[in-house]
Structure 1
């Protein structure tokens, strides 16, 4: 099952990922990404990869 990982030190809180997939990503009070769930089915992979690509600082990675 694919997983998404977030580099909390890199995240700048742009929240593009939240706009693209608010069931996976959120932003906490300090402006850092929060993973609401890290694993997701293969059928959601294109959507989650697209959301990860919206991050301007490349803080998100989708892995198998």
Structure 2
């Protein structure tokens, strides 16, 4: 799956890091970031929940095609 974070929309609420701490973190400024090496998030069932938990819908999760 592909995970995208719209950094122009993110407000740093941290709900993604709470929902899926194995994939998401917060950067030095407090905004959402994907942990190094976890960009695909494929083995974490909480990635979609993290996207739903974002109060400003800054996270998009899509299945990879081909």
**Normalising by the residue count of structure 2, what TM-score does the alignment of the two structures yield?**
0.82
1:12-51 equivalent positions in 2, closer than 5 A: 12-36=11-35, 37-41=38-42, 44=44, 46-51=45-50
CA deviation profile, 1:12-39 (whole Å, cap 9, x unmatched): 0000000000111111121211111220
- 2:56 counterpart of 1:62: no
RMSD, aligned α-carbons = 1.3
The 4+ residue runs of structure 1 with deviation greater than 2 A are: none
Aligned length: 61
- What stretches of structure 1 of length at least 5 have no aligned partner? none
CA distance in 2, matches of 1:48, 1:11: 16
Bigger helix share: 1
Q: How does 1:2-13 map to 2 (within 5 A)?
A: 2-13=1-12
Structure 2: give runs of 5+ residues left out of the alignment.
none
**Please, what TM-score do these two structures have when normalized by structure 1?**
0.84
